[in-house]
Amino acid sequence: MAKKKPKTPSNTIALNKKARHEYQLDKKFEAGVELQGWEVKSIREGKVNISDTYVFLKDGEVFLLNAEIQPLNQASSHVVCEPTRYRKLLLKKREIMELVGAVERQGYTLIATAMYWKKSWVKVEFHLAKGKHSQDKRSDIKDRDWGRQKERLMKHAGR
């Protein structure tokens, strides 16, 4: 009898579900995050919110802004905790130059979409994005509804 593999828990820490609705996402990037000890403990407990998070460039470095990591009471009694501080993202110089070009010349913005574990490291996934107008959002909703109707029709047509 074959042994079943034990289920591994999901590596996802937090998702930004609004990003796909509010922005047209283009190229995806992955970056490590520079964290303090209390932040890692809070992340392990799942006290993270990245719903209004975005990435910005300053002096040739990349930072994560508005990622809210709530401190644990027992883990951070001796440290002054700031839940929404800037957190530096760790990228290669070539990737940073590509981001600078896209943001400054092509009018893109950088939106964080997910935070997850990769081995023992916390990673952030972010995209080059352009904001959607309300008519773009309506067309996306219409396409999604039509896809659902098509699935229902195909399901009943097979019977």
Predicted local distance difference test score (pLDDT) of residue 77: 61
Is there a contact between 55 and 111 (Cβ–Cβ < 8 Å)? Answer: yes
Is there a contact between 112 and 67 (Cβ–Cβ < 8 Å)? Answer: yes
Which candidate, 68, 110, 108, 65, places its Cα nearest to that of 88? Answer: 65
Domains detected in the chain: 12-132 (2.40.280.10)
Rounded CA-CA distance 47/14 in Å is 9
Predicted local distance difference test score (pLDDT) of residue 125: 93
Predicted local distance difference test score (pLDDT) of residue 24: 86
pTM across the whole model: 0.73
| Residuewise pLDDT in 10s, the chain (159 residues) | 566 555 556 788 889 888 888 888 889 999 999 998 888 888 888 889 998 888 889 998 999 998 888 888 775 566 778 888 899 999 999 999 999 988 888 888 899 999 999 988 999 999 998 887 776 678 778 888 889 998 888 888 776
Is there a contact between 14 and 53 (Cβ–Cβ < 8 Å)? Answer: no
